[in-house]
Structure 1
Amino acid sequence: MLPSMATAAASPEAKALYRNAKDAAQAQYKEARAQCDALAGNPKDVCVAEAKAARVRAEADATAHYKNTLRAYTKARQDIAEADYAVDHSRCEALTGNDKDVCIKRAKSTRTAALADARADKKVIEARSNAREDKRIAEYKVAAEKCDALSGTPKEQCVSAAKTRFGY
């Protein structure tokens, strides 16, 4: 996470946006949930699951944007995958026999794939970040080594410039 991102997440404006997004998600959920009351049976169950999934999506996105960390974005993707699974599972409940079994297996497969993608993306981002850091350190060492050929004030200026350039 970049330092500027951390300050943006901690600002009062960001906190207000976060609260507003969560409040809007809750209001939309209540409205959608009220519309579900007109239904009965499985269509009502699906409607409720869809309303909950929409709320989870909105709240997870708001939380991820507010916290602005890799962990928060990964958690949001996982929460959304679970909510989507609940919707898919509710739809499967209307089926019977083998069709229901296949539907549930497909829903589980979709959830497993989404969770695996979220974990894999997190690992890729972490690996790229670590590689960037390793490269920066190596480049700093090269620049510092070049400064060793100098002496006195030019060497101090060279070292200072290298530290500034590579964030030391």
Structure 2
Amino acid sequence: MNTNAYLSFLAIGIVLVVVDGQVIYRSGRGYLENSYGDPGAGASMTRLVTVLFHLVALGLLALLSTIPMGDGDLPGVVGRLGALLLVLAVIHAVTLGALGRLRGAQVGEAVVNRRMSRSEAEQRGSVVTPVPGQEGNYPDVSPSLEHRAPYSTP
């Protein structure tokens, strides 16, 4: 593969990696926006995941550029681009999984914090008017319309 084909593959590959990284960053920032009650923390975590994505993808792009593929310049570039797209798809899926795990941790922490604040409110004696048919100061659900009784969990 001559220098022009090699440089064109690298240029196209870098553009693909940067565009995919920006899609991940912008979508991930919206997805993790309210992490820990601070929009800045979600943007920071998304930035870290996106930087990791870029480093891995650009490293694999560099490695992929050294593997001989195809007989001529055009088949070599097309073959490498195909392999790059497949590798980018796998890296993209792994990055989405990482963002999903971060979001799951945030949701879990929000539930714990909400329960803690609920128990603190009960300890302070704050009064919430219970829904008819339920006992306690902090009702969780409204009664069933059919049976006029609270929902029950198995």
Normalising by the smaller structure, the TM-score range is 0.3 to 0.5
Higher relative contact order, structure no. (Cα contacts within 8 Å, ≥ 6 residues apart): 2
Higher helix share: 1
- TM superposition score normalised by structure 1: 0.40
